């Protein structure tokens, strides 16, 4: 465990006092209307929380774990370089075997405890058609959050689809009704219940459905689902909708490094279920525990991705060692399954007889896609430019998140400091602050592994073209796709 250097802590903490202030950008910017002249209130409580964040010990990334992870890919260097030479770069590499391994591990973990369990891949986490098709062939369902994703799911051949998400349009509800034999609609509001009833009545169909429950009724997460306290009223309202068959409950918490949030909500849900009528309890045939399971290798961070780093960055303080890596541990999926099953046995199964659904996304696909780029310019010993930019992942991820950059052409177990930048016209186009390799030169092939979740789906047309996708099936290149819009 390390902390930010003491000099900066002392400097920073000596300069924060309770006050009312305008951010500096406001003071130096254009004249503001009175609506925007309200100053921010900084209280002693706020200052204490800031101090706690700055002083918080930072968990260092286990160097043995990192070295073993890098070595896994270095062993395959010749294969990756051959693919790059054949298909060019930048490239996405879809590793089907890695995806199937994760699917098997996830389903096995939960089926150990739940006889009736079904997983649904969250399509938003990686919307490449081969990812969905592979998981459907394996036996998973698909979780979609828009009409666009629903169309893609149907094209994949999936016939067990959850349609979740807020703000479903009339057109999307009609689509769900049209394909009601394949789709279960997870409604997000009373208004959506009325809209679904209207669409189903018009088609003279009866639609399977559930309702999403809000897990945090404060802040931005209020947008999802109905308040838990409204569940009884919702079920009563659904009784008046003969074309909508409400048979389940769904909830979701995100960024779970352990199952604490899921088990806590199941306890809250139990208290609410006790207030429902016997008829409404008997109608509940499934509980969907959502997704948000963090991959077992944990969260890997750059200095500015840590709480103390974010505080110092907002103050304009540069961290002296950008090569520092931090890691927050995550529990195994087996531990998730065991603890969630225990919570279900304690809180839910005494009240309702139901099966269990889940919506893993990141956990399944994170290891299933990697990115290959080539060094095209060396501007200094500690600065190179690659042919692929961060438009391939859609956001400035590596200013805060850490992934090793592996020089496949000159492999080494040592990590050397160097800015690895993309070729976009922005200084935020960065892959990393160092690389694993024995030197780096133009023409070298670099691998950024573990980029399967919330990267490909967020890619964007920005300055440079999108990359091609190479599918590795059974260790062989069987398909070379052009970028899918």
Reported as a single tens digit per residue, the pLDDT across 355-402 is 999 999 999 999 999 999 999 999 999 999 999 999 999 999 999 999
Q: Does the domain at residues 96-365 carry the CATH identifier 3.20.20.10?
A: yes
pLDDT interval class at 1 (50, 70, 90): low
Tokens of 121: 């891949």
Q: How many whole angstroms separate alpha carbon 369 and alpha carbon 316? A: 35
255-273 pLDDT per residue, tens: 999 999 999 999 999 999 9
pLDDT surpasses 60 at 483:
no
Among 167, 291, 275, residue whose Cα is nearest residue 231 = 275
Kindly state the average pLDDT of the residues 130-151: 97
pTM (2 d.p.): 0.89
96 Cβ neighbours under 8 A, 6+ residues apart = 130, 134, 368, 471, 472, 473, 474
222 Cβ neighbours under 8 A, 6+ residues apart = 214, 216
Among 269, 271, 258, residue whose Cα is nearest residue 337 = 258
Q: State the pLDDT at residue 335.
A: 98
Among 97, 163, 81, 5, residue whose Cα is nearest residue 478 = 97
- The fold for domain 63-93+366-481 equals Lyase, Ornithine Decarboxylase; Chain A, domain 1 (2.40.37)
pLDDT surpasses 90 at 47:
no
Region at 346 (left for phi over 0; alpha for psi -120 to 50; beta for the rest): alpha
Q: How many whole angstroms separate alpha carbon 394 and alpha carbon 33? A: 34
The per-residue pLDDT of the chain, averaged, comes to 90
Kindly state the average pLDDT of the residues 31-46: 63
The separation between CA 124 and the C-alpha centre of its own chain, rounded to angstroms, equals 9
Tokens of 246: 């409400």
pLDDT interval class at 346 (50, 70, 90): very high
pLDDT interval class at 229 (50, 70, 90): very high
Task: 341-348: list long-range contacts, CB under 8 Å, 24+ apart.
Answer: 341/110, 341/113, 341/114, 342/263, 343/259, 343/262, 343/263, 343/266, 343/267, 344/114, 344/266, 344/287, 346/267, 346/270, 347/266, 347/267, 347/269, 347/270, 348/266, 348/269, 348/270, 348/273, 348/287
> Considering only 105-109, 173-177, 305-309, which range has the smallest mean pLDDT?
305-309
Q: State the pLDDT at residue 203.
A: 95
Q: Are 375 and 440 in contact (CB under 8 A)?
A: yes
Domain locations in the chain? 6-55, 63-93+366-481, 96-365
Q: Using a pLDDT cut of 70, give the percent of the chain over it.
A: 90
Among 255, 148, 245, residue whose Cα is nearest residue 200 = 245
pLDDT interval class at 27 (50, 70, 90): very low
Continuous segment of H or E residues that includes residue 190? helix 190-203
Q: State the pLDDT at residue 23.
A: 44
Q: State the pLDDT at residue 308.
A: 79
Among 50, 62, 43, residue whose Cα is nearest residue 310 = 50
Q: Are 446 and 458 in contact (CB under 8 A)?
A: no
> Considering only 7-16, 158-167, 283-292, 472-481, which range has the smallest mean pLDDT?
7-16
* Four-CA torsion 151, 162, 134, 363, nearest 10 degrees: 130
Q: Are 140 and 103 in contact (CB under 8 A)?
A: yes
Q: Are 300 and 401 in contact (CB under 8 A)?
A: yes
Kindly state the average pLDDT of the residues 230-244: 97
């Amino acid at each position: 465990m390390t902390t930010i250097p003491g000099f900066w802590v002392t400097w920073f903490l000596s300069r924060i006092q309770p006050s009312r202030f305008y951010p500096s950008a406001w003071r130096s910017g254009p004249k503001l209307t009175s609506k925007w002249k309200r100053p921010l209130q900084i209280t002693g409580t706020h200052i204490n929380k800031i101090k706690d964040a700055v002083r918080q010990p930072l968990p260092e990334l286990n160097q043995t774990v990192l070295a073993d992870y890098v070595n896994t890919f270095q062993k395959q260097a010749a294969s990756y370089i051959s693919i790059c030479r054949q298909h060019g770069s930048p490239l996405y590499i879809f590793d089907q075997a890695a995806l199937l391994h994760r699917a098997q591990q996830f389903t096995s973990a939960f089926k150990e405890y739940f006889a009736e369990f079904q997983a649904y891949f969250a399509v938003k986490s990686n919307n490449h058609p081969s990812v969905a098709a592979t998981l459907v062939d394996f036996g998973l369902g698909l979780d979609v959050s828009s009409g666009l994703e629903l169309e893609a799911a149907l094209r994949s051949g999936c016939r067990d689809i959850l349609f979740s998400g807020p703000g479903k349009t009339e057109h999307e509800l009609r689509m769900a009704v049209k394909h009601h034999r394949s789709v279960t609609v997870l409604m997000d509001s009373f208004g959506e219940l009325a809209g679904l009833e209207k669409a189903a009545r018009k088609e003279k169909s009866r639609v399977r459905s559930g309702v999403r429950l809000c897990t945090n009724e404060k802040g931005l997460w209020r947008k999802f689902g109905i308040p838990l306290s409204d569940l009884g009223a919702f079920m009563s309202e659904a009784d008046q909708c003969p074309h909508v068959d409400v048979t389940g409950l769904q909830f979701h918490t995100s960024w779970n490094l352990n199952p604490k949030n899921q088990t806590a909500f199941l306890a809250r849900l139990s208290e609410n279920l006790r207030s429902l009528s016997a008829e409404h309890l008997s109608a509940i045939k499934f509980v969907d525990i959502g997704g948000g399971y963090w991959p077992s290798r944990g969260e890997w961070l750059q200095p500015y991705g840590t709480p103390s780093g974010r505080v110092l960055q907002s103050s304009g303080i540069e961290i002296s060692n950008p090569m520092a890596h931090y890691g927050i541990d995550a529990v195994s999926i087996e531990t998730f399954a065991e603890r969630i099953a225990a919570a279900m046995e304690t809180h839910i199964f005494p009240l309702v007889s139901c099966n269990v659904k889940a919506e893993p996304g990141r956990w399944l696909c994170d290891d299933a896609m990697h990115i290959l780029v080539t060094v095209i310019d060396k501007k200094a010993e500690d600065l190179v430019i690659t042919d692929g930019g961060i438009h391939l992942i859609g956001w400035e991820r590596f200013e805060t998140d850490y992934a090793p950059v592996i020089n496949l052409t000159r492999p080494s177990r040592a990590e050397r400091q160097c800015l690895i930048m993309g070729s976009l016209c922005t200084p935020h186009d960065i892959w990393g602050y160092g690389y694993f390799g024995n030197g780096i030169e133009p023409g070298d092939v670099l691998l950024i592994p573990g980029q399967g979740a919330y990267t490909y789906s967020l890619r964007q047309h920005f300055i440079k073209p999108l990359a091609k996708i190479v599918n590795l099936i059974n260790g062989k290149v069987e398909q070379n796709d052009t970028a899918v819009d």
